Structure 1
């Protein structure tokens, strides 16, 4: 059984109390609850484990639970909204009050037995200023776990205040409804760290309610009546006594993490390059790159996605945006809920520029890590975009540093070189020097000089820079001394006329490290298959690459690339074709799908979720 680490316990009930005789909630029956006598709301909080992830046909890999810290609850808050539950009016619900859940609110650990997914809480609260819900209105609940210091809650006034240095909540301050609350923008720190996972071991991962659909997707389309519900209706779960609340059904809340997770698996054995079997490689370091600087507090889902359909995907994946297995399979049909699989990030509707992203080339604080595997994840904000913006400079990627051996040896960490962009022929310093020497010896004055110094001439290569991975122009020199003691040293250097023409571009791979960019796929090849042969694509813009009308483009390819919160993207390298770049790969506005790849990787997608990707480099 999965261990979920909480500060106090795994189970209890959530109580709702008040101190004003005006506080009355109509629970849909003839006997409204008078909160002046103490009202108790029973709620069951479902953590985002694999057991309630729903199902997708391609997610058939071994499920993994993730790390203990990714389930930990360091603090918890209940945020109540008041509104109506019809015609998708959830976004208009008004803020009613916020309450921090203290240690004393967690109890009755044995109440849920061996089920690791449920956390219940007991909390007595009072509405701010004793105001009552309006007649016919309902109470909706949002739970926030691990707030990572993005907001504070006033224990007396029950007000929630965002930290202005970390969150832009201007719209919410103006109109305190749910949509403005959910769209408050959290910003990354200067080192590119997502604010939702600033220190997972200490602060945990920020979690809120997940948007769920009232009808399944997968092989069949949700109907036009299908609704997306994020808030939990707790109106009918209010009871007059705590004992009664414990004996009655709970209002179910399903939370999700606000970050995407990426891991890279490192194979223990070494492998050979496909185009040069004399060179073996091993993974050295990696980092998540081109990540969103901002993210919504709560995931945003467009109900119009429910009807998008791909006739190129397998049957169970045709309506990919809603999963086909309910998170609550024991509920009645009317109350079953299904996970949704995509999101709109703050930049979704715009074509963004590089200033909107955390990029390694523009941020010295972003560094590559040398640890791999499930125990070394990196977290980032979700990043999604429309198909016409599905370009390499828009897409979150993984930068992989790969160490190459000297050709024909098992020696690593030595500088390697290429000439004139030919990555299929790789030189060591010694073999490069020999080639340069042979070119320079075609010069008559060089020949004369070497003949003069036949006993003491030496050849050397001097680099303009020692920076790792930089493209460099070398200075090739012959040096020699006369045999007469005390004579002035004689040098012949910088013979560049023919040298520059023959070898205009020498690239140095510092320490033998080559870099590759792996753009992360969300729906990937199963749900959004792309067939370059079948579509007769040619290099060019997205209209050529995806070769569809705008309608089919959305149906077939929306979400093929990108990262979404609460998804785990696990990348393993299948094979590497040839040498990569000597520096961090530059961004282009070319489409994400390319006609040639240097690396082959696999991306698995689970829910946590986990995605595993393969790529040819």
Structure 2
């Protein structure tokens, strides 16, 4: 775990000054510290930079850390809560005060081991109105980085106020404890972007403490006495002098980004269905992409359900898989006495909703142009990510209309060529036979030649061709508006036009014509979180059959399938196309209530996950 000290690099020493002589806290069971004499809290801030899942295969180090501005710290806040240190009592801790950390607070540089990036902070903090922490209670710390203007902090009263136009914090206003603070809901910006990463280069990515488990998962289940801790207990890290603070251990705080990250790797290839015939062979290249069906709402702090700790899949067989997948097996603090382990899933504000409400999602309309979609990009690779809110759901809601997806626009070459950008057509839903306008006109001409009057006219002419026009110019289903048969009576003569009337019904002769404008086909890739390794599907003993959610996931078992799909904050989902089987849709694929997994598919993708975390997903299209 790389450590970065605020805001230049890693550790912070925070000086707590008091307004009243009765401001005391119980210093970890030792003598209380009288804050009126000056107290110093030492904290080390750890940003999520590695892929140490502890149970997944190691990935290429050049991929795991992301972009420089994804670690940038534009502003930092310390939010203190007061409570008792018992399991399941963290949520009851009361808000004590909030403090903005200024650049001027970062002063002394010192080397820590092999990491020279160590900045200490000396900042005097007074509790609002001189109120004291109650004797025997603890002080807990939450760090917020890059607030993206979601709240303000009063420098005198040390109050934290959410922006009502961006955050619903009604419960917190009523009762200012940690659970209500953490469950304040931020809503997407008017342009559909996540409020946690509104402008990464300028504002950075919103980060808060990560929920950590006190026992490992992976191969074995965390014990029933395992606790989930989000706040950092800083009580025993309060010292009477700054010199003492510098010489003593720091309270470790592990933060995570509040957004999920998606990238798509570029790819070219050939459609599998058309490879055997040179005349019909179709090449493809990725053209554009966008993240779709993203959650409009997200909690300020990630919500983790401790009951997930015991969930496991008895179908996991891969060596790098996690049987108990919801908690990592390698600690974030391997040298600490009390090890802590990252948790791997979340509840979003609509987690318990079983029926999708379109109003909860930012969606690309099925009849819209991809170029108008938010986040539409023609750039691929690790340098061109898109960010979104986390989106999770129960197995009974693991359906296509509730799952965040990536829409890929893929350009197809004209059959038998390497030429792109021409309109392509299919007839009667047969995607294995693809036409250009010229070859479709040739097919229609051959149908018309079955009419005696047309054949007689054609036999008297040379260079006979057919021009066709369609009833619309957009992608999708269309019909032939008119057809004009032309030919010459002699070489070099002017074209003549067949003046008769065609008796062929075009709609019946060429039913269900679909136009792929510019040769672009669209594919929807639903994003997997735990995916095929940790949540294998359709393996022996699961009884998967064709049909709806309860057939595809059979018993609807959480043990087997919870978290198979979805996106979770601080996870990087990287989409790689493995192969494309056949032609996709001519327009943005519509949403259905079908389950996420299907028995037949024409796209194959791979998703790989690391922390950041990163998920790399390959796709056969």
Q: Report the TM-score range of the alignment, normalised by the length of the smaller protein.
A: over 0.9
TM-score if structure 1 supplies the norm length? Answer: 0.93
Could you tell me which residue of structure 2 aligns to residue 42 of structure 1?
42
In 2, are the aligned partners of 1:472 and 1:508 still within 8 Å (CA)?
A: yes
Deviation at 1:466, TM superposition (A): 2.4
Shift of 1:59: 4.7
Contact 2:464 2:486 in 1 (8 A): yes
Please give the per-residue CA displacement for 1:239-293, whole angstroms capped at 9, x wherever unaligned: 11111111111111000000000111113xx311111011111111111111100
- Are the structure 2 counterparts of residues 78 and 438 from structure 1 closer, same or farther at C-alpha, using a change threshold of 3 Å? same
2:438 to 418, 427, 430: 430
Choose from 564, 575, 580 the match for 1:576. Answer: 580
Deviation, 1:500, is 1.1
Deviates more, 1:86-95 or 1:102-111: 102-111
In the other structure, the counterpart of 1:173 is 173
**Candidates 296, 308, 322, aligned match of 1:293:** 296
Please give the per-residue CA displacement for 1:122-151, whole angstroms capped at 9, x wherever unaligned. 321000000001111111000000001111
Contact map agreement 1:302 1:343 (CA 8 A) in 2: yes
SS at match of 1:437: helix
CA distance in 2, matches of 1:337, 1:255: 13
Structure 1, unaligned runs of 5 or more: 484-488
Helix, strand or coil at the partner of 1:559:
coil
d(CA) in 1 for partners of 2:54, 2:600: 33
Q: 1:475 offset after TM fit, Å? A: 2.0
* Aligned residue among 348, 353, 359 for 2:351: 348
Report the equivalent of 1:319: 324
Distance 2:2 2:306 in 1: 33
* Cα displacement (A) at 1:573: 0.7
CA deviation profile, 1:497-545 (whole Å, cap 9, x unmatched): 5321121211111111111111111001110001256645322112111
Which residue in the other structure is 2:112 paired with? 112
Kindly state the Cα deviation for residue 4 of structure 1 after the two structures are TM-superposed.
Answer: 6.3
Q: Decide which moves more: 58-67 or 600-609.
A: 58-67
SS in 1 for 2:14: coil
Aligned-residue offset at 1:360: 1.1
* Contact persistence 1:59–1:605 (CA under 8 A): no
CA displacement at 1:597 relative to structure 2 = 1.2
The alpha-carbon distance between structure 1 residues 374 and 330, as it changes in their structure 2 partners (threshold 3 A), is: same
Alignment match, 2:278: none
Task: Name the stretch that deviates more: 534-543 or 455-464.
Answer: 455-464
Pairwise mapping of residues 208-219 of structure 1 onto structure 2 (< 5 A)? 208-219=208-219
Residue 186 of structure 1 aligns with which residue?
186
Aligned to 1:531: 538
Q: Gaps spanning 5+ residues in structure 2: where?
A: 276-280, 490-495
Secondary structure in 2 aligned to 1:375? coil
In the TM superposition, what whole-angstrom CA distance separates every residue of 1:462-514 from its partner, at most 9, and x where no partner exists?
122323x332222241156999xxxxx97759847532112121111111111
Equivalent of 1:382 in 368, 385, 390: 390
Q: Which residue of 2 aligns with 1:473?
A: 479
Output the TM-score relative to the length of structure 2: 0.92
Whether contact under 8 Å (1:477, 1:494) holds in the other structure is no
In 2, the alpha carbon distance for the partners of 1:494 and 1:133 equals 94
C-alpha distance in structure 1 between counterparts of 2:518 and 2:5, whole Å? 42
Q: Tell me the residue number matched to 1:391.
A: 399
> CA deviation digits over 1:564-608, x for unaligned, max 9?
000001111111100001111111111111111111111110001
Matches within 5 A, 1:118-267: 121-267=121-267
Asked whether the equivalents of residues 15 and 242 of structure 2 are also in contact (C-alpha less than 8 Å), the reply is yes
| Contact 2:291–2:375 under 8 Å retained in 1 | no
User: CA contact under 8 A between 2:10 and 2:46: conserved in structure 1?
Assistant: no
Q: Is the 8 A contact 1:212 1:228 kept in 2?
A: yes
Q: Is the 8 A contact 1:167 1:186 kept in 2?
A: yes
